Chain A
C-alpha cells in the first residue's frame, strides 16, 4: 500500500470511557487490504472467544478498503461483530455513503467497544470521535425520524454517512439491523442489537480529502476503463432498470421463489409484486451508493388515503428490493403490492432485518395452522398467509417483545421452533433465516457453508440455475465450487467492491486496480491472501461454537419441488463433511 495512505488509520473508540485514539495498522491493511480481510483480524484481536455478543466488551468493527474513494463501485463497508443471532461470526455489508464517508474521514476502520451509560450517538469527523447524547432519540417510534434529527444536528451534508438503529435494536432483537442513508442496511445477523446493547443509537461519519495514487496518469486511464465497463455492462443495466426485483417473476416461473414458508416455489401472484409492476406503478426515485454509476436502489412512492378524512393523503417513500419482496411478500403469501410496501416500511422504521422477519412470521403462521402455536401464545394475534394486518402487528410484537412467544421469535426461527416445535419447516441455515432462493442443493448448501450464511457468500443459487439444471454433480465437487467462489469473494469484500460488480473486477483487473493503490501482487499472492481471509473467518466461527456437524436441514427443503430437485439429506451431508474437512483444519 502507499505509505501515506490514511486507510491504515484505525479509529478505536471506547464508549465506556468516552475515549478514542488512532493507531496505524499498516501490518493489517498492507497484508489484507481492508474490508473483510482487515475486519476479521480486528474482530479476532478484540473479541475474546466465548464472550457474550451483547457484553460491553464485544467489539463492533467497520472497515473499508483501498479501492473505496478510488474507483467506481468501491462502495461497501464491511461490519464485523460477534453475532447475537448465531453466537459466532457476525458479518454484514452495506453501501450508501458509508464506505466513502469513512475513507474520506481519513480512516480505514473503526473499532467500537464499551457501552454508553445513557443513550448516545457517535460523530466521527475527519477521523476524530465526538460523543453526543441521544437520550431523546431512544425509543423513538421511527428510525427514519431518528436519522433525520441526527442529520439536522450534524454538519457536512453530502459528505457523511448516518448509520442508526430502530427500536428493534434498542430492544435487542437478535436480527435487528443498522440502516444507513435510510435505505441501505447492515442487515443480517443482528448488528442492530449490538448497537442497542451499547446504547449506541447512531454513528455519523464525515470528512473530505484527496487520496494519492501510485501513478496519476495510469490511474485516470484505469478509472476510465472500469467506468466504461460499468456503464456499458448488461448486468449493470439490469440492476439500474428494474433492480434486484427483476428476479421475482423469473424465479417464480422456475419454482424457486419461496412461497408461504416454502410450501411452494411458485407464487401465483408473482406478477403483482414483481419488479415490473413496482416500476410501472410505484417507482418514485432511483438512488445510488456513493461512487456507483449503476443506481440500483429503487424507491417506491406509496400514496395512501387516511380513512378518517376525505382527500387527505400521505405519501411514503419505501425502498424495495428482491429480498424484502420475497420475505415480506411471497413468503407470507401477500399478493397486494401496496400491503407488501407497507409491511416493508414498517420493518424499516422498526429497524428489523427484512429476511429474518419474514421467515420468522412465515414459520409462525404455519405453526398456528398446525396448532403448535395458539392465539393464547400470540396474545390474541392471528397470523394467516395472505393477510397483511396480522404481519404488521407481528413485526411490532417482535420489536416490543410483548410476551414470551414474541420474545422467543425475536431470537430467530430456530429458537422459536426449538421451543414450540416445527423444526422441519423452520427455514434457517446455520442459525440465519434463509434468503429468497428455493433453487436447489447449491443454494441451500451455499447458505449453510457460507461464513455468514448468506446467499451472497458463494451464490449457490446461481450454480443451481446455471449448472445443476443439467444434472447433479458429486456433492464434494459442489462443495468445492461453493468454497472457491466464497474464497474469491473475500478479495472483493476486502477491497471493498460491490458484489454486483464481480463480473467487472476480474482477478486480472483487480490486480491492476490494487497497483493503483500501491499494492503490487501476483495472482498467486492474491489467491493466497483470499484463502487466508476465508480461513480466518472460519477460525473465528469455530472458536465461537460453529460446528459443521450441528448444521440442521429443515425437511421442507427436500419436500417442495425446487428449480433443481432430486437431492437428499445424504447428498447434503457429504458436501458439508467435505467442506468441514477443508475448513476445520489449517491450510496444508
Chain B
C-alpha cells in the first residue's frame, strides 16, 4: 500500500492532511508533517500536494551514509532515527522535494504511507491504495 495523490485539482489548500500527519504523533501544529500543500504560484492557479511517491528503488536510501533509511515493503523508505546523523543528503537526493525537515529533531521527515492523512482529506485528494502499475493519465 502507498499514499497516492488521486487528484490534486480537487485540493482546496486546507492543509488538513498536514495537521493530521503531525497529530498522528499526538501534537498539534505541522512540525512533524511528511506531506505538504502549497500553491503552484498563487492559489488561483491551483495547488500542489507534495508527498513521497514510494519509489521502488529510492534515491534517498542510496545516498544515506549511515544506512538509516531502510527499504519499505511497497516502496519508499523507513527512517531509523537512531542511525540518522541529520546530514540532509537524502533531502537533496529527492527530486520531488518530498523529504521535509524536522527542525526540532534535526532529522528528515519521510512519509511512511500509513494513510492517516487520507482519512481526513475532506475532498478526495488523497487515498491509500495498492501500488498501481504506471498508467497514462487519461485512463486514471
A residues whose Cβ falls under 8 Å from a Cβ of B = 69-70, 72, 100, 103-104, 144, 147-148, 151, 157-159, 181-183, 208-213, 216-217, 219-220, 223, 227, 231, 285-295, 297, 299, 317
Contact = CB atoms under 8 A, between A and B. Distances in A.
Interface string B35-65: 0111101111110000000000000000000
Contacts of A103: 29
Interface stretch (B12-20, B72-80, B126-134): B12-20
B16 A291 contact: yes
17 contacts: A69-B29, A72-B16, A104-B31, A148-B41, A159-B36, A183-B43, A209-B29, A209-B103, A210-B28, A211-B28, A216-B26, A217-B26, A285-B46, A290-B13, A291-B15, A291-B16, A294-B122
A220 B26 CA distance: 7
Query: Number of contact residues on B: which range applies?
Result: 20 to 34
B4 interface: no
A293 B122 contact: yes
Nearest to A230: B122
Given A104-B29, A217-B26, 19 more contacts: A72-B16, A100-B30, A148-B42, A158-B15, A209-B29, A210-B27, A211-B31, A212-B27, A213-B27, A216-B26, A220-B26, A285-B44, A286-B12, A287-B43, A288-B13, A288-B14, A291-B14, A292-B14, A295-B12
A291 B19 contact: yes
Nearest to A100: B15
Nearest to B14: A288
A104 B30 contact: yes
B91 interface: no
Contacts of B39: 157-158
A218 B138 CA distance: 44
A574 to B, nearest CB: 45
Contacts of B103: 208-209
B30 A208 contact: yes
A104 B22 CA distance: 13
A144 B27 CA distance: 35
A182 B36 contact: no
Contacts of A227: 16, 120
Contacts of A212: 27-28
A285 B13 CA distance: 11
Give the most central of B15, B33, B36, B120: most A CB within 10 Å.
B15
A181 B12 CA distance: 13
A208 B15 contact: no
A223 B29 CA distance: 13
B14 A151 contact: no
Contact of B44 (A159, A216, A317): A317
Given A70-B28, A181-B43, A208-B30, A158 B16 contact: no
A200 B32 CA distance: 33
B107 interface: no
A209 B31 CA distance: 4
Contact of B13 (A148, A220, A287): A287
B83 interface: no
Given A210-B104, A219-B26, A182 B14 contact: no
A293 B14 contact: yes
A220 B43 contact: no
Given A181-B43, A210-B27, A295 B38 contact: no
A159 B26 contact: no
A288 B121 CA distance: 12
A182 B38 contact: no
Contacts of A208: 29-31, 33, 103
